[in-house]
Amino acid sequence: MIDLKDVTKVYNTVVLDRLSLHVDRGEFLFVTGKSGSGKSTLIRLLTMETAATEGQILVDGRDLSKIKKREIPVYRRSLGIVFQDMKLLEDRTVFENLAFVREVIYGRRRDTSQRVASMLSFLGLSTLHKRYPQQLSGGEKQKIVLARALMNDPAILLADEPTGNLDPGASAEVMDLFELVHRRGMTVLVATHDLAQAGRLRHRRVELAGGDVL
């Protein structure tokens, strides 16, 4: 499903150095490591926000280096992406935030309201549908960001420090939703420094250090 072969990424210094990593279809993988170890860079490579200096990255058999610039938005729609920076639309309700994403991707569709309601129900968030972002706790916001990432029916869910600003209780609740999604068959890759949550869920974990897997 996801293959990185001898991937190197250089900024001012080497961030990733001949990294090789394989993620099976339907797997839940935690990528951990200290700040600056390359976790966020890995996510940016997979979302094509940046490109590898060397090596090959395959996602669902597709070589990312062969995707043309104009095709990147279409590629990203095959992914669910959760960032620590939530970027919810402050002037729209939770329901409207999710509906807006679906309409941007697919255009206006008669089933949008049903799809949003179904997603909120699946994640246990239906009671939040009329609230605005400023009325939500940090944990509730991150749950809505996850719901938003799932609106395009992705095969792969990528998350970069999704619990970085949350207390332990809220972190556990958010990670439990990632687990719920994974049990539906989705491939999940979470980059995190939260070793407590990674250990609690007991999925495979790889640690980055010196630009490669320890």
- Domains, the chain: 2-213 (3.40.50.300)
What is the Cα–Cα distance from 132 to 4, expressed in whole angstroms? 39
CB within 8 Å of 183: residues ≥ 6 apart: none
Q: What is the DSSP letter of 128?
A: G
How many other β-carbons are positioned within 10 Å of the β-carbon of residue 150? 21
- Average pLDDT, integer, range 152-160: 95
Say how far apart CA 189 and CA 162 lie, in whole Å.
Answer: 11
Q: What is the pTM of this model?
A: 0.94
Q: What percent of the chain has pLDDT over 70?
A: 100
Q: Read off the pLDDT of residues 67-114 as tens digits, 9 standing for 90 and up.
A: 999 999 999 999 999 987 778 999 999 999 999 998 888 777 788 999
| Paired residues of 187 in beta bridges | 156
Tens of pLDDT, residues 11-51: 877 799 999 999 999 999 999 999 889 999 999 999 999 99
d(CA 182, CA 4): 21
